[in-house]
Every structure is written in C-alpha cells, then in structure tokens.
Amino acid sequence: MIMHLLHSSRVENALNFNCVVCNDTEYDTPQKKCCLENAFKSLFRKRKYKIYALETSDRSRCPCINESLSNKEESNMIQKYLRAYSNPDLAKNVAKCVEDVFMQYQYRTSVEIHNWEKKLELIAKSPDLMRTIFNDLYMGSGTYAFVLRKSQSYIYKEVMKISLGKREGFDPMWKSEMPFEYCVGLLSPTSHILRPIENSFQPIELPEVLFNSYVFTKEKKRISFYEPVVNGWDRTPSVVPMFEMPECQHIVWTNFSAFNPSVKFVEVLHALNDIHKSGISLNDISEQNMMSCNGEWKFIDLGFATLYDLTTEYLKDIDKFLFGNHNYRSPWADIISHVSMDTAKKHTNWNLREKFELELIANDYWSLALLFGIKFCNFRKIHKFKLFKNHIKSIIFEKKKFFINRSLQEDVDSIFMALKDLGKERSWCLQPFQELLLSILQVNPVTRMQNVEKILFDNHL
C-alpha cells in the first residue's frame, strides 16, 4: 500500500517509514532503499532528491526493496550450495595430481614412458604432411588447444589434446591451466565428464615451422600457434604439453527424430547437477564442448572448470576470472567477466561478489538452456535475442546501475513471446519446451537455481 508522499521539509520523518533520500547517483545503504518506479517521478524533476514513502511489504511496487531482499536470498543460497557442493577430498587430490604432473612428467621421463614419437609419426618435420594432419586427423580446436586423432586408422579410439603453446600472459603449464584441466577430468567422480586417459599427460614435439604461424583446416578454420613451452621441460624448443582422451563423436543436433528435446534436456540437466554435486562447475558449456560417447552425452574441455571448494581463492582475484564462451554466458557471468571489482563497489546494488559465487554454478544451467534454445528454437534468428545481447553490452560499458534483473528478464520474456509462431512451425519447439527453457533462463541466479531444483525434483530419474 502506497503511503502519503513526504514533503521535502520532512526528510527526517522519511526514515520512520523505512525510506531514504534516493538521489540520481547512489543509494544511502542497501538496507534503506525505497523507490517507486515512475508514478511520481515527474513531481520531483526539479528537486535535488527524490523521497518515496512505501511500505516495505509491497515488493512488487518497489523494485529497490525487492532487490535488497534478493541480496539476502543470494547469501542464503550461497551458504546452501557451499555445503551441498563441497568436496574437499576432490580438491586435495586434484592439487596433488597437479603437483605430480608438473614435477614428475619431465621431458626425458615422458619420452621413455610413453614413446610418443611413434604415436605421432605423422607429425613430421615436413610441412607437406601438415595438410594430412589438419585434414584427416583434425577434430576440433579452441582458444588454447586443438584435438587430433592418433592415427588415420580407426583401430585407435583415442585422440590427443595438444596445446597451441604459450603467449604473453598465458602458459599452458601453469598449474591452474592444462595440468588442472587434466587432473579435474581424471579425478572427476561422475561419468558425465569425458575422462582423460590415465598417465597420458606428457610433452609433445611439434614441427618447428608451426610456431608463431598458423594453418587452415579443410573447413577453412584458422588455427594459430604461439611459442613452444620451455620452462619446466627439457630445453627442446618445440615442445608443448598434451594428454590423451577416448574418441567421441560430435552430437548431430539436427537429428530430431533421435530424441525428444524436453526429455533430453532434463536428462542432461540431471547429469550437470551430478557434476555440480561432485564439487565441479564447468563454466564453458557450448555446442563444441558436448559430445556423444557410445550414445551417452558427455561434457568435454575443462579448460574453464572450477572446484567449488576453491571459491575463496577465486574471490581473491575476481578481476582475472573469466567464464567461458561469451556467446553462452549468463548476463551476470558476462558482467563479471568484464567489470572490475573497483567499478562494482561503486554499484552496491549489484552485489557482485555474491553474484559471482552463485554464477559459478548457475551459469552452467543458463548455458545449457541457451544452447538448447539456440539449437531447437532458433534463438539467434530472433531479433529480440540480438536486442537482449546488446542490452547486456550497454550495461557492461555504460555501467547502468538499477534493476538489471528486471529489465533484462523483460528482454528474455520478449524472446519467448516472439517464439509463439515459431513453435507452431517446429514440432520440437512447442510451448511446454519453451516454458521449460524460460524457467531456467532467469537473469536472477537465485530464481534460476530454485527453478532447476524444482525441475529435477519433478522429473526424478
């Protein structure tokens, strides 16, 4: 219920109604926010401050109060998931594995154990053979590594993930990089992550001509190589780290007759929840990072993966933290990846530290729902989707401060409004599937995680 507006001479009395002066730049404190959207804005255009009197129980009419209470919900949710996803044994074992990989797998030892020169006999010093390598053996690449089959022969059901080398500000042999990725995958207690082959982490020699150059695959994709890794290995100049994995197949998303999108989505959602409960968050779900292994969909590429038990360590250096593929990030994960904490501190209503802790888990759910929306509902062809992505950019670069959850959620809702006609044309993007995706594509990470819990409970496998 809206109470009487207070005259400017009665500012002090405003506090009796749980309201504060609300100027154009900052609120006084998050606990004393009280704004009424546009109802009385015109009455205060010529004043230096705005005073709104509103009962705090009327959350729907008062976005600031709603946001303040949401901050409390975020803190409660964080404590809940810190307990639920804690796996100190995994964190300890990964740390030991990383140390072993970093210290023990020196160049000569690895050559003796793995005899990798025979495994990679097709990688020769001759540039003429590179066309064979990057046409017949090439399977895919990312920002930091590429994947090759071991051989043209299909007898070998294994592939190699090979680093593209080090560059300024990045070294694949930092303990938080390729050794960490290998060890998290190797020690993951779930079957939903593609596990590397044990004892396969090793240095590999590539042709000298590759470094500081690039090659094109038969699909015309350009792969850029950087400097070889020298520190920590024998001083052979063309060495980079690599490890081996079982060979899987790319998911054929257009094979709609093979699975029901809603059923498959819930199935993968359960798998993702199992990964989270094991203490791991992926932070880089995309089309390229999911594969079919003997009919089971698995998550691959743990280059951006984190352990929830290390959240405190990540919080110490949020400014350097990046979530994965920007095309699949949640809005808050995108903001966190671009906005410095110094900037965030000026916007106390952003509550960015808490958003970060939540998005370590919640971002994966957003990415998965968005991926299914792109594949089955053609999000990228919807104009409203482009406006939504541009709106996020404007928040990042213009540092807009207020009502981010609400304004961006309106954009998301408008995307699904535009899907109504599309749903009639595509039998795999019907209303129930759209509602399923929308329940997870919630800008507020608390709402998103609550909805995930409900879906998993209602669709128990």
Question: pLDDT tens digits for 340-379?
Answer: 777 666 666 678 888 999 999 999 999 999 999 999 888 9
Question: pLDDT tens digits for 129-175?
Answer: 566 666 777 888 888 999 988 766 666 688 989 999 999 889 898 88
- What pLDDT score does 45 carry? 38
Question: pLDDT tens digits for 261-276?
Answer: 899 999 999 999 999 9
- What pLDDT score does 245 carry? 93
Domain boundaries, the chain: 8-61, 105-247, 256-458
Range 256-458: architecture per CATH: Orthogonal Bundle (1.10)
Question: pLDDT tens digits for 70-121?
Answer: 667 888 888 888 788 899 999 999 999 998 887 765 545 554 555 555 555 5
> Which pTM does this prediction carry?
0.81
Confidence of residue 333 (pLDDT cuts 50, 70, 90): very high
Kindly report which listed range (183-197, 234-248, 427-441) carries the lowest average pLDDT score: 234-248
DSSP 214-236: EEE-TT--EEE--BPP-TTS-S-
- What pLDDT score does 213 carry? 85
Question: pLDDT tens digits for 292-305?
Answer: 998 899 999 999 99
Report residue 241 as tokens. 């780290």
- What is the distance between the alpha carbons of residues 31 and 65, in angstroms, rounded to a whole number? 8
Q: What residues contact 349, with CB distance under 8 A and at least 6 apart?
A: 27, 30, 33, 64, 67, 401, 402
pLDDT surpasses 90 at 459: no
- Backbone φ, ψ for residue 388 (5° rounding): -60, -45
Judge whether 161 and 221 are in contact, CB under 8 Å.
no
